[in-house]
Amino acid sequence: MELCFSRGYLPWKQFQQNCVPFFSSHVRFHSLAKEDGTWEPTTLDVNYHFVQETTVAGEADARRVVEDIVQQDLDHNYPLWRVHMVPVQDRRGLSIVVLRIHHCIGDGFAIASIFHSLARSEDGEPVKETALMRKLEGERQREQQTCSLATACHRVALGANRVRSLVSNSSVPYRPLETETKFTKPRAERGKGFRFGARRQVVYVPAHSLQYVKNCKNAARVSVNDVVFSATSGALRRYCERRGDPAFMEGGRVRARALIPVANPDRGSQHPHDSVANNFGFVSCRMALSEAEPLDRLRQTSSNMTKIKRSAKAEMSLWQTNKLGDVFSERFNQGVARDLFSNHSLIFSNVPGPDVPIFIAGEPLEAAQAIFPNYLSQVILLSYNGRVHMNFTVDPELVEDADSLADCYLAELRAIGSALGVKGDPLECTSPTGIVEESVLEVSESSHEAAAVTCNMQGKEAVATGDEPPKAEEKHAIGGIATEVTDDYADEY
């Protein structure tokens, strides 16, 4: 999560003062993680948990430092989180704050609560709930108002759906391996449980207009998530085609899948002082790489996602994770996890952030970006105040010329918009309204822009996102595929 502050250098001491009370109020942030799953309370060492790195010349240098930081293991003699400040000398660049949190502390929805708790409006008041939080609360209220007969009928249908979803989820690790492409390891190596390099490279996609994505969504009568997931699939196809990948030269079917983490933020079942936790599962979704045209990829993506939304796969995946993990041996569970990851090209997350300007430590937030150095390639999109911030985090030993992925994504997004008659360009988005009111020349010579990055390592730090199904209030069709028309970004799952 890269948080960019446009009005000057982030007050480091004030930032610490804002963070410490929040971290101290949650058990897992002031406790040592024990191997048996318990937490041993301890005293926070501010000098360990908050680190100001050496000042670097520019933003590009700062991001290289970030990549070095996230390779480091967290010290298990302390609570498993740490904050690094990487100052930038160039006043036009972005100083970076790296918040590292171990996966055992919480999933993506839980970690997002940290960001939300630190955020304030311009007048210093806590920010309102995000679109996703409003969506979840609305669904809880609708469930409580449902009549008993409707509930009984729903449970009967859901029971059959759960059985089908359980069988489908259980078969994923054992399905035929994906097609071998320039973006994946050779099939022979994947079948044996492949290995990746020790480092990860972060490819930043330029911030682009959320309204442009919504315009594509409205024109195609699909969801925002369908558009960006389809654009990601198209980006992989374009990347492989540029590299002369024979899998795409022959015109045959290309089998490719993505894992989508789905969180269930059931706060009611958690202790009030230990509300930061893990409660998520993975859902497998086919990526539309066989289709040669952007709109065909979008239609296929919408079809694939609609089937998942109408199934109980997300619910059953979480149940399998929570209930069956203790039934089988550690060796068996590790083998299933290895086979599951070997059968997917990447992990994809799309998270709606605050849709209004917010402030942290008294400074206005200009941008936000999540970074997840994972076992597989990871793609995360995070919207904030009208713009989409996105990155690919990949193994540079596997994905050559990785920086071209950003161009491939934007090219696919433009192609989708062009085919749908959407005017404008995705990069035609100014700085967030209400935040950037002063030019760089008006910033004092001693001030700097600042950014914060939340980095999560699989096995070290990790994150998962809350993906929720859209409301099925109105049905329309595109290319014979029934899809939901939605306006609220939180309804796009």
Task: Collect all residues with Cβ–Cβ distance below 8 Å to 431 and sequence separation of at least 6.
Answer: 6, 366
H or E segment to which residue 382 belongs: strand 377-384
The pLDDT score that the predictor gives to residue 359 is 82
The pLDDT score that the predictor gives to residue 258 is 97
The pLDDT score that the predictor gives to residue 129 is 66
Domain 161-354+375-434+471-491 architecture:
2-Layer Sandwich (3.30)
- Classify burial at 439, counting beta carbons within 10 Å of its beta carbon; exposed 0-12, middle 13-18, buried 19 or more: exposed
Distance between CA atoms of 463 and 103, rounded to whole angstroms? 6
The stretches of 243-329 forming alpha helices (DSSP H) are 246-249, 294-309, 313-319
The pLDDT score that the predictor gives to residue 484 is 30
The pLDDT score that the predictor gives to residue 455 is 41
Q: Provide the sign of the torsion angle of the four alpha carbons 429, 434, 437, 443, taken in this order.
A: negative
The Cα-based distances of 325 to 130, 164, 298, 317, 328 in angstroms read 33, 20, 36, 11, 6
Q: Judge contact between 15 and 115, C-beta under 8 A.
A: no
The pLDDT score that the predictor gives to residue 220 is 97
Q: Judge contact between 36 and 81, C-beta under 8 A.
A: no
Q: Which residues pair with 478 in a beta bridge?
A: 481
The pLDDT score that the predictor gives to residue 407 is 97
Q: Judge contact between 413 and 213, C-beta under 8 A.
A: yes
The pLDDT score that the predictor gives to residue 127 is 75
Distance between CA atoms of 266 and 264, rounded to whole angstroms? 6
Total-model pTM: 0.81
Phi-psi region for residue 50, left (φ > 0), alpha (ψ -120 to 50) or beta? beta
H or E segment to which residue 281 belongs: strand 280-286
**Tokens read off for 35:** 């191997």
The stretches of 176-310 forming alpha helices (DSSP H) are 187-190, 210-220, 224-242, 246-249, 294-309
**3-class DSSP assignment, residue 392:** strand
The pLDDT score that the predictor gives to residue 147 is 52
Q: Judge contact between 368 and 384, C-beta under 8 A.
A: yes
Strands 280-286 and 370-371: unpaired
What is the DSSP track for 119-178? -B-TTSPBPPPPHHHHHHHHHHHHHHHS-HHHHHHHHHHHHHHHHHHHHHHHHGGGSPPP
Rounded to the nearest 10 degrees, what angle do helices 108-118 and 12-24 cross at?
Answer: 130
The pLDDT score that the predictor gives to residue 141 is 59
Tens of pLDDT along the chain (493 residues) come to 666 654 446 678 888 887 888 788 888 899 999 888 889 999 999 999 999 999 888 888 888 888 888 888 899 999 999 988 888 888 777 777 788 888 888 887 777 777 777 777 777 777 766 665 666 556 555 555 555 545 555 555 567 788 888 888 888 888 888 999 999 988 878 776 667 777 889 999 999 999 999 999 999 999 999 999 999 999 999 999 999 999 998 778 999 999 998 877 655 445 555 667 777 889 999 999 999 999 999 999 999 999 999 898 988 898 888 888 888 888 888 888 888 998 999 999 988 888 888 887 777 777 777 888 888 999 999 888 899 999 999 999 899 999 999 999 999 999 999 999 999 999 987 554 434 333 333 333 333 333 344 443 333 333 333 333 333 333 333 333 333 333 333 344 3
Distance between CA atoms of 487 and 489, rounded to whole angstroms? 6
Strands 449-455 and 370-371: parallel
